[in-house]
Amino acid sequence: MSPETVKLAVVQMHVTDQMEDNVSRAIAHVRDAAAQGAQVILLPELFENLYFCQVEREEYFDLAHSLDGHPFVGRFQELARELGVVLPLSYFEKAGQAHYNSLVCIDADGTLLGNYRKTHIPDGPGYEEKYYFNPGDTGFRVWDTRFGRVGVGICWDQWYPETARVMMLQGADFLLYPTAIGSEPAEVETPNSHHMWQRAMIGHAVSNSTYVAAANRIGTERVGDLEQTYYGHTFISDYTGEMVAEFGDTEEGPLLHTLNLREARKFRAGMGFFRDRRPELYGPLLTTDGVTRRG
């Protein structure tokens, strides 16, 4: 049975090139959030190190670790158990000869509920993720936790309405997105705007009548010959698309809001978006060119 309300925290933080420094800071932010009553706490994407995907360098594969015997996932399991909080946790995963941008969901008793591997992998100047990460093979994941059914995508996933819709069809009570996003290299013509980033996810909130939240990093990071500034603007949107909590581009720490899941469920049912779906007509969504082929 899903709870009627959940207190959510999304953490905005800066990152250095020292894993222990980042993990210790992340733990401090989790403790701060829990002290303020947070029950589910989301840290940013790949918070363990600088966003190394700015450049393509073989040496950065050394940052990946297998989930079994991972250097810090166990510490967050102990932390979740101690504080009684749910922690969806981003990490760089090594599995055999494969590498993934992954996330484990840790329940409030410290149990690992499962592993999600990022589905959509970007490839562009300053965001060279296809060099490092295999496309995820887990499918989208939703977890039954002590504090509701939690659906989590990872960064580039947040631009895709399909990601949000699938997680909602799987019964998610709310959607979370750990993120690492900011400035583009000078030669890139695409806009560098947190507004567009937020609007995409707010659209998911509206079309799925659900709470949506994203946690981003802040600060300027230099990797190789490139430098990027991450624009923060970590936020929480309610189930009507209203921004109910937001940081700017410099604040650090947890951003909190109480989610009224009971009211969201009632509103979602009344809107009828899921009642009026016509999945039998959505075949073109299963193709790359919009042409459904039969036989």
Active site residues: 45, 118, 155
Q: What distance in Å separates the CA atoms of residue 227 and residue 75, rounded to the nearest whole number?
A: 31
What is the side-by-side strand order in the sheet with 148-152?
Answer: 142-145, 148-152, 174-178, 211-215, 235-237, 243-246
